[in-house]
Amino acid sequence: MAYDRSNVFARILRGELPCKRVYEDDHALAFHDINPLAPVHVLVIPKGEYVSMDDFSATAPADALAGFFRAVGETARRVGVAESGYRLLANSGADANQEVPHVHVHIFAGAPLGPMLKKVAAR
């Protein structure tokens, strides 16, 4: 899938839409999710144009990959959940219900999060 420069995260990166920023560096931006599903729900996105984790992991240069994952850890520390714990989620593609076609990691935290995933039956 080609990268769509009109997606909401691209617009946030260009400053066309606001966000509640948590952390930013040369590689990544982290901000609160507009529709939080946990007491802490933060999104971390790389600044490059990558559609999904599949695209990002296969095509991004090593410094972009390392910078992004360091930013995920730094964001968790900045929001104060590194000790209490957190869950990372990266939806990739249709079966995962990825809504925004710019790769991102969700950080969920702030309370016990329950089981990892409701069991899904095979098709």
Q: Find the shortest distance in angstroms from Cβ 17 to ligand 5GP.
A: 6
Choose the stretch contacting ligand 5GP; rule: CB under 6 A; options: 32-40, 51-59, 66-74, 115-123. 32-40
Supply the DSSP symbol for 61.
-
Q: Which helix (H) or strand (E) holds 54?
A: helix 53-59
Total site size for ligand 5GP, rule CB under 6 A: 13
Choose the stretch contacting ligand 5GP; rule: CB under 6 A; options: 31-39, 51-59, 63-71, 72-80. 31-39
- As a whole number of angstroms, the longest Cα–Cα distance in the chain is 42
- Kindly list the distances between the CA atom of residue 29 and the CA atoms of 90, 97, 107, 119, in Å, as whole numbers in the listed order: 15, 22, 13, 32
CA distance 15 to 12: 5
Q: Find the shortest distance in angstroms from Cβ 77 to ligand 5GP.
A: 20
Q: Which residues pair with 31 in a beta bridge?
A: 21, 43
Q: Known catalytic residue: 106? A: no
Which of 3, 91 has the CB closer to ligand 5GP? 91
Instruction: Map the footprint of ligand 5GP across residues 45-104, applying CB under 6 A.
Output: 91, 97-100
**Active-site residues: which are they?**
104
